[in-house]
Amino acid sequence: MSWPPLPYADWEPTKQTLHRYAQMVGKVRMALTPPLNHWWHVTLYVSARGLTTGAMPAGGRTVELELGFVDHRLHARTSDGGQAGFPLGDACATFYEQLMAALDGLGVEVEILAEPFDLGDSPPFAEDTGHRDYDADAVERFWQVLRLTSAELAAFRGRFVGKQSPVHLFWHSFDLAHARFSGRAAPPIPGADAVTAEAYSHEVIAFGWWPGDDRRTPYPAFYSYTAPEPDGLRERTLEPAAAEWVDTGNGSLAVLPYEAVREGADLLAFFESAYRAGAEAAGWDLTHLRR
Tens digits of per-residue pLDDT, 191-202? 888 888 888 999
pLDDT bin (cut points 50, 70, 90) of residue 290 is confident
Q: Angle at the Cα of 194 (from 214 to 167), degrees rounded to 5?
A: 60
Q: Clarify whether residues 186 and 63 are in a common domain.
A: no
Residue 2 forms part of a structural domain: no
Domain boundary among 78, 109, 127: 127
10 Å CB burial of residue 160 (0-12, 13-18, 19+) is middle
Instruction: Give the structural domain span for 49.
Output: 8-127
Same domain, 152 and 272: yes
69 inside domain: yes
Boundary (domain end) residue, out of 72, 106, 127: 127
Distance CA 250, CA 114 (A): 29
What confidence score (pLDDT) does residue 195 get?
83
- Asked if residue 278 and residue 201 are part of one domain, the reply reads yes
- 94 occurs within a structural domain: yes
pLDDT bracket for residue 1 (50, 70, 90) = low
The answer to the question of residue 151 being in a domain is: yes
Report, as an integer, the average pLDDT of 236-258. Answer: 95
pLDDT at 56: 98
Question: Is the domain of 152 the same as that of 64?
Answer: no
| CB-based burial, 45-71: b 16+ in 10 Å, e otherwise | bbbebbbbbbebebeeeebbbbbbbee
Confidence of residue 74 (pLDDT cuts 50, 70, 90): very high
Number of domains in the chain: 2
Residue 288 reports pLDDT greater than 90: no
Q: Say if residue 212 is in the same domain as residue 251.
A: yes
On whether the pTM is more than 0.85, the answer is: yes
Report pLDDT digits (tens) over 45-73: 999 999 999 999 999 999 999 999 999 99
Separation of alpha carbons 218 and 207, rounded Å: 19
Share of the chain above pLDDT 70, in %: 100
At 108-133, the pLDDT tens digits run 999 999 999 999 889 999 999 999 99
pLDDT at 212 over 80: yes
Long-range contacts of 118-126 (CB under 8 A, 24+ apart): 118/172, 118/173, 119/19, 119/20, 119/23, 122/20, 125/20, 125/24, 125/92, 125/93, 125/95, 125/96, 126/93, 126/96, 126/97
Q: Based on the domain organization, do 112 and 152 belong to the same domain? A: no
Query: What is the chain's Cα-based Rg?
Result: 19
pLDDT in tens, 268-285: 999 999 999 999 999 999
Q: Are residues 148 and 250 in the same domain?
A: yes
In the predicted structure, residue 240 carries a pLDDT above the cut 80: yes
